[in-house]
Amino acid sequence: MRDNNGVFISGTGSYAPSKTLTNCDLARMVDTSDQWIINRTGIRERRIAGTEEKTSTMGSLASAAAIKAAGIHKDDIDLVLVATLTPDMFFPSTACLVQTQLGLRQVTSFDVGAACSGFIFALEIASNMMKNGNFRHALVIGSEKLSSILDWEDRKTCVLFGDGAGAVVLSSQDRLGYEVIDSYTASDGSQPKLLHMPGGGSACPATPESLGQGRHFLKMQGQKVFKVAVRFMEQSVRKMLDRHGLIPEDIDLFIPHQANLRIIEALARSIKAPKEKFFVNLDRWGNTSAASIPIALDEASRKNRLQSGDYVLLVAFGAGLTWGSTLLKWKY
């Protein structure tokens, strides 16, 4: 076991499918409009994976970019976690598929299911596994093909989501990048129907009837989800700030889950932080669930707007319900 207990994000990467679906494209498919979607969500377009693109292949491409950015060899990776609610299949895990697609050694690989908060949960699990000294470099991936579980006739949901992947290399050595300072995660399973996919699991296996009833599509009670999203994201921010004796002014960049611009603005108002401090890219991506934070982190890193010592706070909310935050400190 090693003495150094620090864990660092030493490289980031992301992958966007080439097909773009605009709000105007959607207006030709369902009864909606570009203006309604922009006003109610802030989303202008999203990426849609092709039939050959899977959650695993998108995750692998994002990971290859993160490995390159970290300046390590793929054989240095000894742990793979994939956060997703759209795995390629129930089993084997998408992480195992990524492991073989990247040609990695026979390393520990498994999936984490916490919906849109999945990346925060996976980061916490991987960080703690690394702190015991048994792992040196982990891939933590958020990858989603949400287009595969959307009802393309339901305007209340199909306009909100998109596909894509983001990944980070987590390293146990003191390296350039983000130091993972702390994580907070929590869940409340008492209202599963706020946001769920009823069919396909052991409770409701696939049958011709379940297919006909549309039970294999994502279902959401949007307004209720909106309210709890703001409440639990605020709680996640406050919890992390209180733990470290920080105030919102001390945070240089907030990277929130990219579900809806109005949720992000409500969060900024509730913690009294300027909205300019909140990274936003949902206008180009829509909600990519577990992939949204690692994609945003990759874009923020590549914009070079951070200075050594800056605090970055990741904050997410998702089905489950699940929520949480991760405090990072930028070093270079």
Give 312's Cβ-side CA count (13 Å radius): 24
CB 128 → ligand ACO: shortest distance, Å?
23
265 binds ligand ACO (CB under 6 A): no
Residue 68 three-state SS: helix
The yes or no reply on residue 195 touching ligand ACO (CB under 6 A) is: yes
State the minimum distance, in angstroms, from the CB of residue 112 to ligand ACO.
13
Minimum Å distance from CB 298 to ligand ACO? 20
Catalytic: 287?
yes
Is residue 86 near ligand ACO by the rule CB under 6 A?
no
Dist CA 106 CA 103 (whole Å): 9
319 binding ligand ACO? (CB under 6 A): yes
The binder of ligand ACO chosen from 67, 170, 225, 255 (CB under 6 A): 225
Please state, in angstroms and rounded to a whole number, the distance separating the CA atoms of residues 311 and 309: 6
Of the residues 23, 137, 158, 257, only one is catalytic, namely: 257
Neighbours of 175 (CB within 10 A): 21
> Nearer to ligand ACO by C-beta: 49 or 225?
225
Cβ(217)–Cβ(149) under 8 Å? yes
* CB environment 209-243: b (16+ within 10 A), e (fewer): eeeeeebbbbbbeeeebbebbbebbbbbbebbbee
Site for ligand ACO in 107-136 (CB under 6 A): 115-116
- Tell the residue number behind the tokens 């990346």, with chain if given: 119
56 lies in the binding site for ligand ACO (CB under 6 A): no
Interface residue list for ligand ACO (CB under 6 A): 32, 36-37, 40-41, 115-116, 155-156, 159, 195, 220, 222-223, 225-226, 229, 259-260, 263, 287, 289, 318-319
